[in-house]
Amino acid sequence: MITYFKEIFYGLYTLCVGMKITFLHWFRPNVTVHYPRQSLKMTPRYRGHIDLTCDEATGKPKCVVCMACQRACPSGCIKLDGAKAEGAPRKSLTSYTLDFTACSLCGLCVESCSFDAIHFSKEYNLASRKKEDYKMDLLKRVLEKK
């Protein structure tokens, strides 16, 4: 009989405690970010899709067309091509496409690059209705940016 009453009162007490906890949370500030109006800054190591890095001095992509990224990519979504211009010391890039539909953002390509020629972009809100939009021409992108 005593345990019967004890259980009821203890149960009621725990329920009151639960309600107190939710009530006290009322007075705490919101922790959410209201996305389209505010957004967070991506951390420096954030792995977005890749972008070509340009040489500060010449303004041209640093890529030497060694194909390491293409080989390292597990999904086979990087395709690049280069040609050696007359008199140039090394190959230069003629095309660099990233098939973002297949990319799994693993970052193995950036790691494989010995020339720091690709980096992660900080873009995270890519959206489109067309599949073709994700066949990214990174060379065109980097030239347009300038």
Partner 1 sequence: MSSDMIMELVRLILYLVGFLAFALLNAAYLTLVERKVPSWFQLRPGPIEVGPWGLLQPVADGIKLLGKQILTPQGADLIMFKLAPVMVVVPGVLCLVTIPFSEMIVPRNFNLGLLMIFAFGAFGVFAILLGGWASNNKYSSIAAARVVAQNIAYEIPMLLVVISLVFVTRTFNLHTIVEQQMGGFWHWNVLNLKASIMMPIAFLIYFICMLAETNRAPFDMVEAESELVAGAFTEYSGMGFGLFFVAEYLNIMVGCCVGTILFLGGWDCPFGLLPGLHWFLIKMYVLCFAVIWVRWSFPRTQFYGLLNLSWKILIPFALVNLLLTAFMLKLFH
Partner 2 sequence: MSIDAQSVLNETFVLNLGPQHPATHGVLRIKLTMDGEYIVDAEPVIGYGHRMHEKMGENRSYAKFLPNTGRIDYVAALFNGHGYVGAVERLAGITVPERAEYIRVITSELNRVASHLLWLGAFLVDLGGFTPLLYCFDDREQILDLLESVTGARLTFCYYRFGGVCNDIDDDFVAGTRSFITRLRSRMPMYDAFVTKNIIFRKRVEGIGLISAETCRKYGATGPVIRGSGVSYDVRKVEPYSVYLKFNFDIPSFTECDCMARYKVRIEEMVQSMRIIEQALDSLPAGPIMAEKVPRTLKLAKGDCYYNVESARGSFGVRVVSDGSENAYRLKLRSPCFSNMSLFRECSAGMLLPDALALLGSFDLVIPDIDR
Residue 98 to residue 20: CA distance in whole angstroms: 53
| Partner whose binding site includes residue 89, from partner 1, partner 2, none (CB under 5 to 8 Å by kind) | none
φ, ψ of residue 126 in degrees (nearest 5): -80, 130
Contacted by 29, from partner 1, partner 2, none: CB < 5 to 8 Å by type:
partner 1
Sequence-ordered strand ranges (E) for 14-124:
50-52, 78-83, 92-99, 118-120
Residue 145 contacts partner 1 per CB under 8 A = no
Count of positions on this chain that bind partner 2 (CB under 8 A): 27
The pattern of x and - marking residues 11 through 50 that bind partner 1 according to CB under 8 A reads ----x--xx-xxx-xx-xxxxx-x----------------
Closest distance to partner 2 from the beta carbon of 8 (Å): 9
Query: Using CA atoms, how far apart are residues 20 and 2, in angstroms rounded to an integer?
Result: 27
Tokens for 100? Answer: 């973002």
Q: Does 25 bind partner 2 (CB under 8 A)?
A: yes
Q: Is 5 in the site for partner 2 (CB under 8 A)?
A: no
Q: Helix, strand, or coil here: 18?
A: helix
Q: Binding to partner 2 by residue 120, rule CB under 8 A?
A: yes
CB count in 10 Å sphere of residue 105: 13
Asked if 47 interacts with partner 2 (CB under 8 A), we say: yes
Decide: helix, strand or coil at residue 30: coil
Binding to partner 2 (CB under 8 A) within 48-77 occurs at 72-74
